Amino acid sequence: MDENRLKGTGPGNVFRGPRLLPHENRTLPETAKCTRCRKRAVIALPSHHANFCEECFVVFFRRAVLRAMKHFPIRPDEPILVAVSGGKDSLAAWAVLQDLGYRTRGVHLNLGIPTFSEASQEAIAAFATARNLPWVSYSLRDLLGYSIPEIRRRIRRPICSVCGMIKRRLLNRLAIREGLRVIATGHNLDDEAGRLLGNLVRNRREYIEKQSPYLPSVHPQLPEKIKPLYRVSADEIRTYCRVHGIAYLEGACPLSRGATSHMFKEALDMLEGKMPGTKRDFLFAYLDARTASKAVDDFGTCDRCGEPCYGSRCSVCALLERLREPEQSQGSA
């Protein structure tokens, strides 16, 4: 791997290693004590009213993930396919699951975004090699015939929702192809709270009802999905990566500029800064009060690819059909 890119000193500073965070030892006096062991504390967690040394922070982090895993009805020996992007969340999820004794395998979708996708794959390769973890990478262009930039140019609409749909559908298929029944993603507390706020503001009831850190399998060709990091914040994950020496892709996707999801997270960040614990209270109050989703029994089969879907055409095949239309007819649609 390019040493400059690892340190964040290369062109564009796309790939960076762990860095010291504002809420860590620069903000705590030398007399601050760890809440758990009473040694000197170097990490402050205002939302938990706690300070930790690095060793006890790792214990705190792993316990939070273990507590999340206990809410997921999967067997301890169930192998887990971890969706990895090269960012802090997915690499931290992979690391902590492995540390907790779960059998894991990484899977990566190379989206074909210049420089960014290359750096993503380099970060995953370095992480997996250092820990001797198995993983596999699939090219979106090989799977669909198009990269994300090509799809963005052809459909002329905000790409984030389309990219998310593609990744969800393809990860389902790749999990079955790899012979695994559980997919873990790196969604964290900030992601889930921001998503919930956005859906509430827009009154998207169908999405609100389905939001959960655990999604059961509702079809033989659909795996279970878990979010092991839903109880830990983005800052806590950055700290975990720093303590563990996990180098990750720090920059956001260059095609995500203007995504409204960032705005809802920023709104919650503002509230969290004034009232620590707001994100946790907001998300956990919803999760504690929600009722189990109704079983889905109206799946059809896609008439093109044979995958489960609503109706007769899956969203991936519908997108491919649109992409294959002449560009002139797409522009006039």
pLDDT along the chain (333 residues), means of 10: 37 42 65 96 95 97 97 94 97 97 97 95 96 96 94 85 93 93 97 96 90 91 96 97 94 80 92 96 94 66 86 89 71 44
Q: Which helix (H) or strand (E) holds 184?
A: strand 182-184
Please give the pLDDT value at position 294: 60
Hey, is 227 helix, strand or coil?
A: coil
Report the C-alpha gap between 303 and 311 in whole angstroms.
9
Say what angle helices 54-69 and 234-244 make with each other, to 10 degrees. 120
By the 8 A CB rule, do 209 and 293 touch? yes
Measured distance CA(236)–CA(94) in Å, rounded: 15
pLDDT number for residue 17: 47
Q: What b/e string do you get for 217-229 counting C-beta neighbours within 10 Å, with b at 16 or more?
A: eeeeebbbbbbbb
The model's pLDDT over 211-237, given as tens digits with 9 standing for 90+, comes to 999 999 988 889 999 999 999 999 999
Q: What's the pTM value of the predicted model, to 2 decimals?
A: 0.88
